[in-house]
């Protein structure tokens, strides 16, 4: 199973997750110590209070420990395993939040982009005090809770910019450089778990009207037409360039059953996947 965050927590109405607004969430994490496959649909900042987490991404393994902060961009696919004593505070935010933040404080981010930044804040008293304050605010359900958490998070970002300007600006720069292609990037990376247009909307965290307007602007076609074409394109590539079975290819391309995949493929190419492979693989 692959856990999509923060969608998974939102859909399950996890009590540890607080919605500040549609662009910002915060979670106090007490994660169980087992390996989890994860995809993230929002950008994130995690500050580790105790314990450590081991992350495997793009073939590399990184261990992140206490008093370290990690900034990670939207759209990553990774495995994650935490120690039994792992405790952390995580914020999830989108492009809109970050663009508003950068504009509000007139922050220049002309820096070579970096998808993930890790910094150690053990020597930064202000960051530690902010973490303690945010943890306390998170635990107390008061009318001012979301306002305080929002302001504290902005202060935290400003502290990171002050103490770790290169790493923080590089992360912001990555988001700025990729935001125009965000929709394409997320959808193409998650084809195997998309079963409908509604799931595409959920994955992108958009209302139906927002989604259809943005989709038409970026792709110039309907979501259903695009999804069918992308699945078929991926299926033909796997048929010609892999030894995966028809059932494996059907699952990887997001089809619920092999028979449904075969029927759709035959409708599209006037041939079964098996015949298509046999006739075209060695041309």
pLDDT attached to residue 156: 97
Q: Determine the average pLDDT of the residues in 209-232.
A: 88
Q: Which residues pair with 70 in a beta bridge?
A: 46, 118
pLDDT attached to residue 283: 55
- The pairing of strands 2-5 and 36-40 is parallel
Residues of the chain with CATH 2.60.120.280: 2-180
Q: Using alpha carbons only, how large is the chain's radius of gyration in Å?
A: 21
Q: Please state, in angstroms and rounded to a whole number, the distance separating the CA atoms of residues 134 and 265.
A: 52
Q: Which residues contact 206 (CB under 8 A, 6 or more apart)?
A: 214
- 155 falls in which pLDDT band (50, 70, 90)? very high
pLDDT attached to residue 160: 97
Q: Helical H runs in 15-60?
A: none
pLDDT over threshold 60, residue 9 = yes
3-class SS of residue 57: strand
DSSP 226: H
Pick the CATH number of 2-180 from 3.40.190.10, 2.60.120.280, 3.30.70.2740, 2.30.30.100: 2.60.120.280
Q: In this structure, what are the phi and psi dihedrals at residue 117, rounded to the nearest 5 degrees?
A: -130, 135
CA distances in angstroms from 149 to 25, 169, 202, 269, listed in the order given: 9, 22, 25, 54
pLDDT over threshold 80, residue 186 = no
pLDDT digits (tens, 9 = 90+) for 14-43: 999 999 998 999 999 876 678 888 888 899
Q: Which residues contact 22 (CB under 8 A, 6 or more apart)?
A: 205
Q: Which residues contact 181 (CB under 8 A, 6 or more apart)?
A: none
CA distances in angstroms from 176 to 101, 128, 232, 279, listed in the order given: 12, 28, 31, 45
Among the residue ranges 92-106, 188-202, 256-270, the one predicted with the least confidence is 188-202
Residues of the chain with CATH 1.10.10.60: 190-280
Nearest to 93 by CA among 164, 25, 160, 38: 25
Joined together, the tokens standing for residue 263 give 């029927």
pLDDT attached to residue 127: 97
Q: In this structure, what are the phi and psi dihedrals at residue 38, rounded to the nearest 5 degrees?
A: -130, 140
For the chain, what is the mean pLDDT? 89
Largest CA distance in the chain: 67
Would the pTM of this model clear 0.75, i.e. be above it? no
> 190-280 is classed in which CATH architecture?
Orthogonal Bundle (1.10)
pLDDT attached to residue 237: 81
pLDDT digits (tens, 9 = 90+) for 46-102: 999 999 999 887 678 899 999 999 999 987 778 888 999 999 999 999 988 998 999
């Amino acid at each position: 199973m692959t856990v999509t965050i923060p969608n998974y927590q939102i859909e399950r109405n996890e009590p540890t997750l607080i919605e500040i607004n549609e662009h910002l969430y915060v979670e106090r994490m007490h994660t169980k110590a087992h390996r989890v496959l994860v995809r993230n649909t929002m950008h994130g900042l995690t500050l580790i209070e105790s314990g450590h987490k081991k992350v495997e991404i793009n073939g590399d393994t990184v261990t992140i420990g206490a008093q370290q902060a990690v900034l990670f961009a939207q759209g990553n696919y990774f495995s994650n395993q935490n120690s039994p004593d792992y405790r952390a505070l995580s914020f999830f935010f989108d492009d809109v939040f970050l663009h508003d933040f950068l504009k509000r404080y007139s922050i220049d981010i002309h820096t070579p982009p970096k998808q993930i930044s890790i910094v150690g804040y053990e020597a930064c008293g202000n960051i530690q005090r902010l973490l303690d304050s945010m943890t306390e605010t998170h635990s107390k359900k008061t009318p001012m809770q979301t306002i305080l958490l929002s302001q504290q998070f902005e202060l935290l970002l400003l502290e990171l910019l002050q103490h770790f300007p290169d790493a923080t600006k590089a992360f912001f720069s990555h988001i700025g450089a990729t935001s125009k292609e965000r929709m394409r990037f997320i959808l193409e990376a998650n084809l195997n778990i998309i079963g409908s247009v509604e799931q595409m909307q959920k994955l992108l965290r958009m209302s139906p009207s927002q989604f259809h307007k943005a989709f038409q602007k970026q792709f110039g076609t309907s979501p259903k037409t695009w999804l069918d074409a992308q699945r078929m394109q991926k299926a033909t590539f796997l048929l010609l360039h892999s030894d995966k079975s028809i059932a494996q290819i059907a699952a990887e391309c997001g089809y619920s059953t092999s028979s449904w995949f075969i029927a759709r493929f035959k409708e599209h190419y006037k041939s079964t996947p098996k015949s298509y492979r046999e006739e075209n693989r060695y041309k």
